[in-house]
Each structure stands twice: as structure tokens, then as C-alpha cells.
Structure 1
Amino acid sequence: MSAAESSTDTTKEDVPTENAPYEPTIVDVLVVKAMLNKALSPPQEIIDRIVDLAEYWPHTTSEWTSQQGEDPPPTTLAWGRGQENVFVLRAPPLGLPTWRRSPSIPGGQPERKTPKLQPAGEEFPSEVFQRLTKMPMPMLVHPCRRIVFTIRSRDQGWGGEPDTQGTYNSSWTWFEAGLERWCKTSTSETDTSTGQQSEQPSLMVDDLSTVLPPVRWDETRRQHVFDHPLLPREDLKIQCNEVATNEIQEHRVVWSYNDDIDPDRDTVAAARLEESGRGTATGTGKFVRDLKLGDVVTVWSKARFAGWQNHVSSVKVKVYYAV
């Protein structure tokens, strides 16, 4: 059974528990900024900096969970089953809090709809997404500050190379981050009768182009395909499973815009990331810093080589951004 079957998923604002730190909504952030402006009247740049340094950021939450009582949970199987690379879920567009309430969004579950084989092309100008934010003041072009992945999963519970069981060494089941964007040159954003391109994105899931994994043309099959490499991409590998572990384990992985681990310069820190099951190049902060307004973060589950299975119980993605 694939991770795309027998599932429930939600995109929601987290309800804070009694002991959890309070996480603000967009309205909360705007109110605080207005209060600072009224009390102190500093330049807007100073207010923005204060709020940013305080990490007073709104966020979105997307979550997929397998059906209760399902044993084993949905599985990504290895070679020969056509399930070596399985799409799990997507986050809402970065900085567009009204996306779920937009009438252009079809019914169903946009977080789980399978990505289309639509290659990325020319992007819409940032000004277009600025208007779509419907914010009283312009947002940053690159507003993302943090991504928190919470993954509950395990591998097949047996196998692996000698002395690797219970470690992340030579683990061939893992999760990778992906990226989608609305592109003005995609066929879905072009009027086929006139060839005229749309002036703004439709915000419909079916019109998204896939940036990561790249979409390439397969000459043999005469069609576009997702370009999934054999080995993990060290800059996109969120987390791998412990080798030969029968129990579902939870991993919480945080990517921040101010992460600064260069794997070529700081080999010790990169080795620590590898020992914890992360990609050695995921500590640079580049993926988070490069995200633009309207970008859509995705998660894929992976498995490689005969016998390896990725049993996925749940995946949650929280995306924090500056306002």
C-alpha cells in the first residue's frame, strides 16, 4: 500500500497546549507592530527587525496521518513496485494565508493531490504575489524563516550492513523536501487559443510547476518524468530511518534561515548531521532563505534497493515566515 492511500490530512492553525509556547497568527503580529508604532514611533524597518529578532512569526501547518489501526502503516516499497518515490504532502503557498479560503481552490485535499509533470519555467514577478498576500504593507520577497518537519516512520525492521542496525549509516529509506511554483510560461497558465499568458497565477494545485524534483523529458518514453536520482540529495534529505528498526520512531527536524553549516568548511558539524540521519548539506539554511512568496514546500518519501521499505505513519510540516 502506498503513502497516497488510506489517509487523512489537514492544514490548520495549531491549537496551543497549556505548556507550549504561544505561536502568533498574522493578526497577532500586525497588532504588535501597530502597538510598537503607536508607542515608540520608530522607523518601520526597526519595528520589523524587532519582531523578526523576537521570532514572532506566523506559520502554517500541513499534516498527513495514516488511518488509525492500519498495520502496517502505508509503505514505500523498493525496486520493482513503482513506489520508490512517493509524494506525501505539500504546504500552503508561502505568505498567502487566504489560500485555503480562495474560491479558486477546488474541493478535496489540495495538500495531497499528486504533483503534475509540469516543468518549471518563467516565474511570475514578486509584485504579483505581493498583491495576493492582501497585506497592509509589503512583505519580504524571501519571507521564510523556519521549517519544522515532524516525521513518524520506520524501515522494514531487518537487514542492513553489519554494525549499522540501530544507526542511520547506510539507511536506504528516507524523506526529501521538494518545491513547487506557479510559472507564467506553463501550459496551464497560457490561453491555448491566443497564446497569451495569464497576468497572475491561478493558485490552483493543478497549475503548479515542479521545481524539485526536477521534471525532465524522457526521450525513450516520449513524456516528462520526475528526475529522482538513485542516491539521496544531501541538500534535500530531511531525515532517514534508523536501520532495521521495528518500532515507529518520531524525528523532528528544524531548518532555519540563519543556519550556517557549510559541509565543505565545517566537516565536523556536517558529520553530526549525517549521524543524526540528516543530509550533510541541509544545515546551510539555503533552502529556507531561497524560498519566495507563493512557493510551495513538498515532502517525498523514498526507498532504494531490494527489501528496503519506508513505513510512513505521519508527516507534519510547519512553515514560519516573517510579516
Structure 2
Amino acid sequence: MSEDHSYSKLENAEYDQHRNPDEAYLTFTIPQCQHVRHITFDISSHDQGWSNYRHQWGTYEDSHTWFEVGVVPTDGGNGSPADATRHVIQRNVHARRQTTNHIVSWDDESASTEVGEWMKALKPGTTVGVFARALYPGWVNHVERVAVRLETLV
């Protein structure tokens, strides 16, 4: 039998290269279950809206704003290396000022081996974070909303 669990945050926030990369935009706790079967991320965001690389505008090439997911260490950041592993969810469209909505779904069987193994390793009570990232001067990740839906096997 499976159960659905939803988590979301609707709050405008800006993440640039100076913002703490360990500050999660959204956190949630894995509920009581055998394992996580499916994760869907629904992200509304955009970058700063310009770059010097006009030929990449409107593409995902060399976008330096993106989202990651990973376990949030409960011991002040001294977790094991496996706990520190993050997986890229989605990049923003390069040099696009308008908000874009991205829906990304991962299945424990069809996701890349690394992601599938990570999903299967998530245990009840584990805190997971969605992290908005930006790299290099001038790049800004403008986040409007992140929603996560989990399907768990109970």
C-alpha cells in the first residue's frame, strides 16, 4: 500500500553566491514508511534575467542557478559523506527574468542509479532539504515556490 505526503513553501527568496549553500529553502521529514517510491518536485523560479552570453539566453546551457536535494545533517553538519550527497533537481533557464515552472519526477526504480539508491536509503525521521543555489557574481536564483510530493510504501 502507498501513501502520498505533500510539502510546500510559497515565499519569494533570492539566493546568490554569498548566501549559505547549506540553508535549505524547504525542509521536510520522511514519514513512517518502508521506503520512498516516488518524489515529485514542483519548482517556480527564475535567474537574474541577463548574462553576457546572449547565445545561451533561453536555454539551460551554462545556467549557474539551480536546485539540489539532500539530507540535512542533524549533528551540526558533521554527518557522513553519504549524508552530504546532494542531487541536482533542475537548473533555471539561462538569462530569463520570467518565472518558469518545472515539474521533475523521480521514481526509485527508474531514476539514475545514484538517485534511486539515495531514495531507497531515506529512512523515517530523516530531514531532507531542497536547496536553491547560485554560483558566480551577478547570478541570482529567484525562488517563488517549491512543492514536494512523496509517494511512500507503507
More strand by share: 2
Specify the SS of the correspondent of 1:306.
coil
Q: Is the contact made by 1:58 and 1:321 (CA closer than 8 Å) also made in structure 2?
A: yes
Q: Is the contact made by 1:179 and 1:210 (CA closer than 8 Å) also made in structure 2?
A: no
Specify the SS of the correspondent of 1:74.
strand
> Deviating runs (4+, > 3 A) in structure 1?
207-214
Counterpart of 1:61?
6
Q: Is the contact made by 1:149 and 1:253 (CA closer than 8 Å) also made in structure 2?
A: yes
Match of 1:248 among 84, 99, 116: 99
Q: Is the contact made by 1:90 and 1:299 (CA closer than 8 Å) also made in structure 2?
A: yes
Specify the SS of the correspondent of 1:285.
helix
Q: Deviations over 1:82-127 (max 9, x none)?
A: 31524211112332xxxxxxxxxxxxxxxxxxxxxxxxxxxxxxxx
Is residue 71 of structure 2 the alignment partner of residue 179 of structure 1? yes
Counterpart of 2:30?
93
Q: Tell me how many residue pairs correspond in the alignment.
A: 152
Asked which structure has the greater RCO (Cα within 8 Å, sep 6+), the reply is 2
Query: What is the TM-score when the length of structure 1 is the normalising length?
Result: 0.43
Match of 2:46 among 145, 154, 169: 154
CA distance in 1, matches of 2:152, 2:56: 38
Task: Percent identity, please.
Answer: 27
1:319 corresponds to which letter in structure 2?
Answer: L
Q: Deviations over 1:15-54 (max 9, x none)?
A: xxxxxxxxxxxxxxxxxxxxxxxxxxxxxxxxxxxx4xxx
Counterpart of 2:118?
287
Quote how far apart the aligned CAs of 1:210 are.
Answer: 5.4
CA distance in 2, matches of 1:58, 1:308: 38
Quote how far apart the aligned CAs of 1:167 are.
Answer: 0.8
CA distance in 2, matches of 1:213, 1:158: 35
Unaligned runs of 5+ in 2: none
CA distance in 2, matches of 1:213, 1:253: 22
Is residue 149 of structure 2 the alignment partner of residue 318 of structure 1? yes
Q: Deviations over 1:262-303 (max 9, x none)?
A: 6xxxxxxxxxxxxxxxxxx6xx52221221222222111100
Counterpart of 2:19?
83
Quote how far apart the aligned CAs of 1:160 are.
Answer: 4.9
Specify the SS of the correspondent of 1:163.
helix
Structure 1 vs Structure 2 CA RMSD: 2.6
More helix by share: 1
Unaligned runs of 5+ in 1: 1-50, 52-56, 67-72, 96-138, 187-206, 215-232, 263-280
Q: 1:210 to 1:177 in 2, by over 3 A?
A: farther
Query: What is the TM-score when the length of structure 2 is the normalising length?
Result: 0.84
Q: 1:305 to 1:181 in 2, by over 3 A?
A: closer
